[in-house]
Structure 1
Amino acid sequence: MADIQAMYHQVHVSEKHINFLCFLWWPGGDTSQSPLEHCMKVHFYGAVSSPSCANYALRRTADDNAQHFPHEVVNTVKCNFYVVDCLKSVASEEEAVQMVKDVTALCHKGGFNLSKWISNSRTVLLSIAGDCRAKEVMELDLDVDQLPMERALGLQWCIQTDKFKFRTSAQEQPQTRRGILSVVSSLYDPLGFLAPFTMPAKLLLQELCRRRLGWDEVIPHSLSKKWFEWLEDLQKVAEFNVDRCVKPRDFGDPATVQLHHFSDPSQVGYGTVSYLRLEKDDRVQVAFLLGKARVAPLKQTTIPRLELTASVLAVRVDKMLQKELQLNLEKSVFWTDSTTVLKYICKGTRRFQTFVANRVSIIREAADADQWRYVGSKENPADDASRGMRAENFLKGRRWINGPKLLCEPKEVWPKLDADLDVIPAVNSVVVDFESATDRLLCYFSSWTRLKTSVAWFLKVKRTLVLLGQKRKELCASADLNKDKLETQEHAAERKIQSFKATLKGQSLTPEDLEKAGQSIIQYVQEHKFKAEIASLKNGCKNVSKGSPLYRLDLVMDNGILRVGGRLDKAALPAESKHPVILSKDLHVSVLILCHIHHQLGHAGRNHMLSRLRQRYWIINANSAARRVISDCVVCRRNRGKLIEH
């Protein structure tokens, strides 16, 4: 590892651009004199353009001198630099020594001087001039002294043991949302080694968001206890370490290199973890590469959808690793414990809902169906990330870092996708629909007028059938039982019934029919929504239980319909205004009534809607219901939308 000394100052600015980097300065720093105008001829720290210009110059240096250096050296300069830092691993000390010389020479061609070299090999450090080594090893006796610890924010590289560790001495912060976020963010973990451990802290932050606490508002005592427990666990993480190198030194060149990705969700979050599997002869090496843990959305969603979301995350991680790893990789393998996801992927040509279809499309574009395999929930390491772990369990159980035992077994014993789906026990399920035909009818219509019209016709047909039945009974009862006259009387009765049908056929709906239909609908939904309250009133109780949402409305029954009571009996108001009909805001009928009023008033505002509504109806929490109706109205959204500015 090394960095480029004063990288930006080594890159000159063209003559036509130096006027963009002008500044004023006093001669000799004497502020009593008039300032002079100066121009920067090189790029400087703080300019937005400096990083991209400096990196372009470095890559251009590699391209211009590609013929004079090995391909591996040129590729190192182009792919292993992050701004001023270079990080490179090679198989042997001899290669490392030569790589240091060649990379230094190549960068020098462009005016870049490499310094602050550090390595886990003493031989490599001895081959580097003392003034070019990192400050930590510059004065060490490399034959005797122990190699130091290299720090990068919260991540530590123990050069002596070649392991990664974590610094967990977080600064004391207030118990607020801002303070908690500061502590959690200070734990620098770009590769996700500690993803299962940090998950509980992320869930705590999400809970604070759910409760809408301010950034500097003190958190409740119940959550404060969880936060202190996590801080105590944070101190134990100092014991955690993981090998930097993914391949043992004596492993040699692997015959096959393959990425394996595991994904899993839970009610609170979802996660993925990726491993690199190296195989040579009968020897298998599995190494942790990258882990991610994310909290589930605040909006409640189903587990199958979270499983699909986790699978999409695994596919995107694979795409990124395929691009970054400079290895000859075989086809990646994706593991999930969700048979639902596997069936979605296998039946990718079927039509799904938009949410499912979009994510299945992403998965199928990045990977083939035969790359997906089933893994049992108990063997899935991604389960650790989706649920989170305490520090003690995380340190004891090394499955997250070492990978599942399944990967150490030969490929021949891995279950195939088709076999997995066949092994899944067949479950015959019967969906029992308890929704009545009347409920389906009420939810079918999107207009209050159409619903009343439909119900009115049903009621008219019902009355007609009842009348026909009564007419038939009357005609049959008046008929003479004499067998000789029976046939003639039956024909006469049939003619009278047909005449009665013709009379009914020409009928149409009247306002009274629509009014009765509306009352029937209200009575039906009230009987299903307010069963306990209606039963209480029918039993002679004047008041309902205090836990009822109708407790404060002084209920009265009027022809089987619940209405608001009160002291407006003697007021000079219509009866419906004095005692409006009670409805709940979560009823489909309530939404239809609000939409009907909204359209009647020419898409008026909320207050006007509520004023008209309360002339006949009392919808519980009508304010929020009216607001939702207005927000869902296409006409209102179009009329009140912001104009596009060019």
Structure 2
Amino acid sequence: MFCAEEIGAAINLKTDVCKLLTQAGFRLRKWCSNSPEFLSTIDSIDRETSAETIIDDTQTVKTLGLLWDTACDSFKYSVTLSELQAQVTKRTVLSDISKVFDPLGWLLPVVVSMKLLMQQLWLKGIDWEAALPSDMFSHWCELRRGINDIRDIRIPRWVKYKSGEMLELHGFADASEMAYAAAVYLKVHHLDGLVSTNLIASKSRVAPIKQITLPRLELCAAQLMTKLMVKVKEALEVDQVPIFGYSDSTIVLAWLSDYPRRWKTFIANRTSYILDIIPRQNWRHISSHQNPADLATRGITACNLINSNIWWHGPNILCTNHNWEQVVLEPPNEMQLEERPMMLCHTAAKHVDDLFERSTMILATTSFESLKVVDDKIDLTKSDRVLSLQTLTVCSTVISWALDCVIPSMIRERSNASESSSTRLENSV
């Protein structure tokens, strides 16, 4: 597939390709296009007879395929699922789910409901050839009937972008106890001052069977969105466009607002990756009812998905040309932030020499984890307890600071306290 902004460019490309392949004895056939003017330059015997072009070359009769309707220049889906069998097993459910061809995640709010049902079958330990329980069988029949409504979905191929117009990428992340998801939208600022937004891609994951807190799932959703954003930028070849991230979790935004080394390992690893792609100043808070990724975490029917403007074009505030007003949020509870624990050492001594000796001993015997709190750039493996030159430099700096600032201050305070005590004693005598 190839796209051109002008008919002349498309015709010239077609002529060059045909001339090159003709020299090798190949003749291109089954040409299709959304432009009648372009098709008029091609012989009728070399044109595609059908107005619908199959995107999935490997599709079978029973596969839900993605089609390009050249007549209205839009994508749509074909649904040809087999008749429902009298006995539905876990194997047949998985077979029907695998037939859904949705590479860009446009049908994610519908597909995620099927994935969640499959996970429930695993949790209940149902065998591959065993019939589904009555309640799950009814739920699966409802989901399967809804797939037929997918045929009414029409997705415009063109995102209304022309050369010279400004682009932005906006990613939304959300999570529930059942799944977490991400959706990326392309925002186009047209030369006439109007703004258009369109869904480019989305992705979801069902929540792991092992229990994990909701804030951590929200962070996983933000990481998933960041990875999807990177792929979208590469596919669209728009490396220099501004990118923005949105989340309805105040805890995730608090994690992203500070340095990763402040948090525990699980949080630090993910926030570090996210901030390398999307700067912390480009993260925004959005309410749950305005977050399109919320639809992909709880699932909706295909009939409701057709008319869901927030899914296909994002929230209304994204479609405006005004600057985003960041709302001042109440900071989350410190217990929810999962800060990395820090070790504080206190020592007492009668003389400066004793204090220096004890401080040196504490710094020299500090564990690897505690040294990382001093400086996260120390290259010291857990199995190697020998202090490196860089570690000794850090320790020396701390000791010098103690000798130059802390200890003299302590001596002055102790001296002033002794003088005050002596004065009071003389006055009493």
After TM superposition, the score normalised by the length of structure 1 is 0.48
CA displacement at 1:107 relative to structure 2: 4.6
**C-alpha spacing 1:328/1:358, structure 2 compared with 1 (3 Å):** closer
1:383 maps to 294
Write the distance in 2 (CA, Å) between the matches of 1:236 and 1:324.
Answer: 29
2:310 maps to 399
Equivalence map 1:173-192=2 (5 Å): 174=85, 175-192=88-105
1:244 aligns with 2:149: no
Write the distance in 2 (CA, Å) between the matches of 1:127 and 1:429.
Answer: 68
**C-alpha spacing 1:184/1:270, structure 2 compared with 1 (3 Å):** same
Residue number among 256, 266, 274 corresponding to 2:166 in the alignment? 256
1:127 aligns with 2:79: no
| Contact 2:53/2:68 (8 A) holds in 1 | yes
Write the distance in 2 (CA, Å) between the matches of 1:165 and 1:268.
Answer: 28
Task: Give the SS at the match of 2:184.
Answer: strand
Write the distance in 2 (CA, Å) between the matches of 1:107 and 1:370.
Answer: 51
1:209 aligns with 2:128: no
CA displacement at 1:392 relative to structure 2: 2.9
What per-residue deviation string (whole Å, max 9, x for no partner) do you get for residues 178-225 of structure 1? 111111221211111110011111100011111122222211111001
Write the distance in 2 (CA, Å) between the matches of 1:180 and 1:309.
Answer: 27
Equivalence map 1:35-46=2 (5 Å): none
Task: Give the SS at the match of 1:356.
Answer: helix
Residue number among 46, 66, 69 corresponding to 1:155 in the alignment? 66
Equivalence map 1:201-600=2 (5 Å): 201-247=114-160, 252-281=162-191, 282-327=193-238, 329-412=240-323, 414-416=324-326, 420=327, 423-425=328-330
**C-alpha spacing 1:427/1:183, structure 2 compared with 1 (3 Å):** closer
1:200 aligns with 2:113: yes
1:172 maps to 83
Q: What letter corresponds to residue 246 of structure 1 in structure 2?
A: V
Task: Give the SS at the match of 1:350.
Answer: helix
Write the distance in 1 (CA, Å) between the matches of 2:23 and 2:174.
Answer: 50
CA displacement at 1:329 relative to structure 2: 4.2
CA displacement at 1:109 relative to structure 2: 5.9
Task: Give the SS at the match of 1:202.
Answer: helix
Write the distance in 2 (CA, Å) between the matches of 1:108 and 1:398.
Answer: 47
**C-alpha spacing 1:244/1:263, structure 2 compared with 1 (3 Å):** same
Task: Give the SS at the match of 2:300.
Answer: coil
1:104 aligns with 2:18: yes
Task: Give the SS at the match of 1:225.
Answer: helix
CA displacement at 1:241 relative to structure 2: 1.3
**C-alpha spacing 1:430/1:206, structure 2 compared with 1 (3 Å):** closer
1:92 maps to 6
**C-alpha spacing 1:177/1:97, structure 2 compared with 1 (3 Å):** same
| Contact 1:233/1:390 (8 A) holds in 2 | yes
Write the distance in 2 (CA, Å) between the matches of 1:358 and 1:427.
Answer: 21
What per-residue deviation string (whole Å, max 9, x for no partner) do you get for residues 123-172 of structure 1? 111212334323x25xxxxxxxxxx2222341122211111111123113
**C-alpha spacing 1:229/1:123, structure 2 compared with 1 (3 Å):** same
CA displacement at 1:332 relative to structure 2: 0.9
After TM superposition, the score normalised by the length of structure 2 is 0.71
Write the distance in 2 (CA, Å) between the matches of 1:287 and 1:121.
Answer: 22
Write the distance in 2 (CA, Å) between the matches of 1:349 and 1:200.
Answer: 34
**C-alpha spacing 1:350/1:104, structure 2 compared with 1 (3 Å):** same
Write the distance in 1 (CA, Å) between the matches of 2:233 and 2:21.
Answer: 27
Q: What letter corresponds to residue 38 of structure 2 in structure 1?
A: V
Write the distance in 2 (CA, Å) between the matches of 1:158 and 1:206.
Answer: 35
Write the distance in 2 (CA, Å) between the matches of 1:369 and 1:292.
Answer: 22
Write the distance in 2 (CA, Å) between the matches of 1:106 and 1:287.
Answer: 37
| Contact 1:173/1:180 (8 A) holds in 2 | no
Task: Give the SS at the match of 1:232.
Answer: helix
CA displacement at 1:102 relative to structure 2: 2.2
CA displacement at 1:334 relative to structure 2: 1.0
Write the distance in 1 (CA, Å) between the matches of 2:268 and 2:332.
Answer: 25
Q: State how many pairs are aligned.
A: 325
Write the distance in 2 (CA, Å) between the matches of 1:184 and 1:288.
Answer: 23
| Contact 1:348/1:364 (8 A) holds in 2 | no
Write the distance in 1 (CA, Å) between the matches of 2:17 and 2:288.
Answer: 47
2:345 maps to none
What per-residue deviation string (whole Å, max 9, x for no partner) do you get for residues 412-461 of structure 1? 2x034xxx4xx113577899xxxxxxxxxxxxxxxxxxxxxxxxxxxxxx
Who wins on radius of gyration, i.e. which is larger? 1
Unaligned 5+ runs, structure 2: 60-64, 337-429
**C-alpha spacing 1:133/1:302, structure 2 compared with 1 (3 Å):** same
| Contact 1:254/1:278 (8 A) holds in 2 | no
Write the distance in 1 (CA, Å) between the matches of 2:215 and 2:272.
Answer: 16
Task: Give the SS at the match of 1:286.
Answer: strand
Write the distance in 1 (CA, Å) between the matches of 2:321 and 2:266.
Answer: 37
**C-alpha spacing 1:294/1:110, structure 2 compared with 1 (3 Å):** farther
Q: What letter corresponds to residue 163 of structure 1 in structure 2?
A: S
Write the distance in 1 (CA, Å) between the matches of 2:13 and 2:156.
Answer: 23
Q: What letter corresponds to residue 286 of structure 1 in structure 2?
A: T
Task: Give the SS at the match of 2:187.
Answer: strand
Unaligned 5+ runs, structure 1: 1-86, 138-147, 432-646
Q: What letter corresponds to residue 110 of structure 2 in structure 1?
A: F
CA displacement at 1:350 relative to structure 2: 3.2
| Contact 1:90/1:96 (8 A) holds in 2 | yes
CA displacement at 1:230 relative to structure 2: 0.6
Write the distance in 1 (CA, Å) between the matches of 2:118 and 2:84.
Answer: 15
**C-alpha spacing 1:317/1:166, structure 2 compared with 1 (3 Å):** same
Write the distance in 2 (CA, Å) between the matches of 1:343 and 1:297.
Answer: 24
